[in-house]
Amino acid sequence: MFDLLKLRIRHGRQAIPDICKAEVMETFRGFPVIDETKSWNGGAGCKEVCPTGAIEINPLRIDLGKCIFCGECENISDGTIKFSNQYRLGSSRRESLVIASSETFEEFNNTAIEAKKEIHKLFGRSLKLRQVSAGGCNGCELELNAASNVNFDMGRFGIDFVASPRHADGVVITGPISSNMAPALRDAYDSISEPKIVIAVGACAISGGMFADSNQINRKFFDEVPVDLFIPGCPPHPLTFIHALLDYLSAKR
Amino acid sequence: MSWYEIKNLQSAAQKEIPCLEFLTLKRQIIEKISEGCRVVQFFGDKIGNEVILYVVLADDEQSKLFTASSIFSGVNSFESITPEVKSFHLFEREFFEQYGIKPEGHPWLKPVRKGIAGISSEENQYEFFKMEGEEVHEVGVGPIHAGIIEPGHFRFSCHGEQIHHLEIEHGFQHRGIEELFLKNKNKLEFLLKLSESIAGDTVIGHAGTFARAIESLGNIDVSRRAIIIRTIALELERIGIHLGDLSALAGDVAYLTGNAAFGAMRTKIINSTMAISGSRFGHGLIAIGGVNYDINDELKEKLTQTLNKLEEDVELAAEVLFSSASVLARFEKTGVVSLETAKDIGLVGPAARACGAALDVRTDHPYDGFTLFPVHKFTLKSGDVFARAYIRYVEIIQSIKIIRELLESPIDGENKKPLNNLSPNQFVVSMSEGWRGEIVHTAITDESGQLKRYKIKDPSFNNWIAVALAVKNNGISDFPLCNKSFNLSYSGFDL
């Protein structure tokens, strides 16, 4: 009994009090800042080391939808590419995820997510999501679980994951969509009643990521169904997910 | 000599591996197994019309590996080893699925990743076992599960609440990883990143195993600094997942204090991994030839403080968890796996140690930091959910001590050494102890020093069958608890 009380006292309050002010540590690789003035030849080497083809040159740009934030380009770029610890990377437009040379985080953050009035009205106070892992490696899945843990406590914003698609307002997809999961994903999506939203989490879901080249994946689903929200990362930080949703629902308080 | 003897990470000339008539090989395998060896790899490599079968057995007590091979040319069947040695069952099924060479006499030649109803070609489609009788019913779960986890299908045959039989169907996660390895054989850096995604909860485990295989083939002698940092990261990964598992196990029996307490501790540990590598799961830390990130004195100090606090917290929380009657009532005698079963099916990792099978690659086939600091093997006997939970607690404390020891030892040398060309015609087995158990990667190079076969075995490959056996005769409501107590990877199995 005393041990239990001791444990509760030691546990204390773990939840991040104001999630809008939350910061992650310096080492975290988030929004990349590109400064082409630093090195005239940095870009070509960066393109070469990028495992997912996220980097294009002339001018240098990084596609966060493909980027796995491994930091290999930063390691060789002489300061041309620097991953900042800005974790707010979600976007409602696929093209916004392509970060241009000298684009600042503020520029990105101001325009990346288009909050719609009707979305706020429908889901602003309560959003229930069905998660489907379709070839996800368990990285994104662990971070999505973490979003509801005692630290991040996403439930306080009325956002929860539910077991049945019939109870859900949207689907959260992780993984590149393995061919063997494509029909089940489609079934789950079809079982959710309208209106519904689609959220693609992680480089694999957004672009195929490391598996874009595999012939065991089937991404037809994304040709048929538009995505409302893209959450980049490998895996995305729980705060990345929570903030993207709060911005999308205009639910920050 | 009819076996070629190597060690973990010892790169050997491929031509030294004896090539035998299959029946001779089978006889030899049975003989070695009866002497106490166990199978760690059994896979094929297709060259033209021929398929070469490679077998690797481990003698854990003497830290030896034995390899041999056999060629199948124009033959489409062989005599199954499974009736004599059960632990070969899944290896043979995989071999059959990949090369179409049939193990005759195999008792259960079910597809491994390609038999899913409605998706796979019709001749591959597999029919589940059926049970008939009064009050017998079936429960199908998945591929999409209730929570946020990977997909897989479970088919329970129940009598009332009791599970008589559980069949697990895999393959939903198949992403073609081994094919991608060969497709990108020239891009070793790409393959390193791909290894990180074999199972996203075992980033350091798989990436480290891959890096060591390549370093062995390229004769790179990694610095002491890199060895120590990698080992610290591996143990942090183990602590982080074990804490998460204890949290989830407590949650599964509705013990929310344990759920919250262990969950909060896990966050601190994976954030320590982020402090080192910039990723909560250690993405980007491992490099071929070393590591990409250093641990400086300030970080060292911080890590030591975090671990000291964690040790006290874990001991207190474990004391509370494991003395709670409501928790013990659910944990004890639930999902029992006997030592005999564990040995039969070739169980590995903490799940094996929880039923008394003293297997730990860190001790049996040491690598990286474990060559400098030997690790003691802990085992428990009961083989139930309690034992699988308690062994995690024991291992958390052990890993804290290992990291502390590593942090105190002098670190020297550079972070990363340059990559050499890989030696041609070599064969190397890279084994390591991930938090889930034994990870085995086997790499073979061709005459130009390029990878020509890369075989991956996640511990989940050995252990999934144990989940099916453990839940037999348990209530179906205990299934989530049993499943969580193993916490196996779907993607690691499906590749």
Query: CATH code at A43?
Result: 3.30.70
* Poorest-pLDDT segment among A8-12, B76-80, B123-127, B439-443: B123-127
B175 and A216: CB-CB below 8 Å?
yes
Determine the Cα–Cα distance for residues B315 and B387; give it in Å rounded to an integer.
16
B179 and A183: CB-CB below 8 Å?
no
Determine the Cα–Cα distance for residues B100 and B81; give it in Å rounded to an integer.
16
Of A7, A51, A135, Cβ closest to residue B261: A7
The answer to the question of residue A7 being in a domain is no
Contact residues, chain A, for B319 at CB < 8 Å: 3
The answer to the question of residue A105 being in a domain is yes
The answer to the question of residue A48 being in a domain is yes
Tens of pLDDT, residue by residue over B45-74, are 998 889 999 999 999 999 999 999 999 998
The answer to the question of residue A237 being in a domain is yes
Count of other CB atoms within 10 angstroms of residue B142: 18
Please check whether residues A121 and A84 belong to one and the same domain: no
Residue A253 scores a pLDDT above 60: no
* Span B24-28, average pLDDT: 92
Contact residues, chain A, for B143 at CB < 8 Å: 181, 184
Please check whether residues A54 and A123 belong to one and the same domain: no
Please check whether residues A216 and A146 belong to one and the same domain: yes
The answer to the question of residue A20 being in a domain is no
Assigned fold of B177-299+335-494:
Cytochrome-c3 Hydrogenase; chain B (1.10.645)
> Two tokens at A149?
């843990």
Of A70, A133, A142, Cβ closest to residue B284: A70
Which sign does the torsion angle of CA A223, A224, A230, A231 carry?
negative
Determine the Cα–Cα distance for residues A199 and B452; give it in Å rounded to an integer.
39
| Close Cβ partners of B448 (under 8 Å, ≥ 6 residues apart) | B424
**Mean predicted lDDT score pLDDT of chain B:** 91
Which residues constitute the domain of residue A156? 117-249
The answer to the question of residue A17 being in a domain is no
Please check whether residues A150 and A204 belong to one and the same domain: yes
Per-residue model confidence (pLDDT) at position A102? 83
Contact residues, chain B, for A137 at CB < 8 Å: 197-201, 491
Please check whether residues A65 and A129 belong to one and the same domain: no
A179 and B174: CB-CB below 8 Å?
yes
Residue B122 scores a pLDDT above 70: no
* Residues paired with B250 in a beta bridge: none
Interface test mutation site (partner B, options A48, A72, A142, A192, max chain B beta carbons within 10 A): A142
Burial of A16: CB neighbours in 10 Å, binned 0-12, 13-18, 19+: middle
Of B176, B264, B313, Cβ closest to residue A214: B176
Cα B433 from chain centre: 8
Which sign does the torsion angle of CA B365, B370, B376, B382 carry?
negative
Could you give the angle at which helices A2-11 and B297-322 cross, rounded to 10 degrees?
Answer: 150
Tens of pLDDT, residue by residue over B325-360, are 999 999 999 999 999 999 999 999 999 999 999 999
Predicted structure pTM score:
0.93
φ and ψ at B364, to 5 degrees?
-75, -40
Please check whether residues A121 and A83 belong to one and the same domain: no
Determine the Cα–Cα distance for residues A46 and B88; give it in Å rounded to an integer.
45
Please check whether residues A121 and A243 belong to one and the same domain: yes
Per-residue model confidence (pLDDT) at position B125? 74
In the 8-state DSSP scheme, what is residue A237? P
Please check whether residues A106 and A213 belong to one and the same domain: no
φ and ψ at B73, to 5 degrees?
-125, 115
The answer to the question of residue A4 being in a domain is no
Pick from B347, B351, B348: nearest CA to B361: B348
Over B252-319, what HEC string results?
HCCCHHHHHHHHHHHHHHHHHHHHHHCCCCCCCCEECCEECCCCCHHHHHHHHHHHHHHHHHHHHHHH
Tens of pLDDT, residue by residue over A17-59, are 888 888 889 899 999 998 877 666 657 788 888 999 999 888 8
Per-residue model confidence (pLDDT) at position A252? 64
A149 and B263: CB-CB below 8 Å?
yes
Per-residue model confidence (pLDDT) at position B1? 58
The one-letter amino acid code at A249 reads L
> Which chain A residue shows the shortest CA-CA distance from B241?
A142
Per-residue model confidence (pLDDT) at position A20? 83
Please check whether residues A83 and A124 belong to one and the same domain: no
Alpha-carbon gap: A115 to the closest alpha carbon of chain B (Å) = 26
The domain total for chain A is: 2
A211 and B118: CB-CB below 8 Å?
no
In the 8-state DSSP scheme, what is residue B321? H
* Span B89-107, average pLDDT: 92
Please check whether residues A78 and A181 belong to one and the same domain: no
Task: Give domain limits for chain B.
Answer: 4-104, 177-299+335-494
Per-residue model confidence (pLDDT) at position B126? 79
Q: Can you say whether residue B131 is alpha, beta or left, with left for phi > 0 and alpha for psi between -120 and 50 degrees?
A: beta
What is the interface pTM, i.e. ipTM, of the complex? 0.91
The answer to the question of residue A150 being in a domain is yes
Contact residues, chain A, for B435 at CB < 8 Å: none
B257 and A151: CB-CB below 8 Å?
no
* Span A111-129, average pLDDT: 87
Please check whether residues A126 and A68 belong to one and the same domain: no
Per-residue model confidence (pLDDT) at position A52? 92
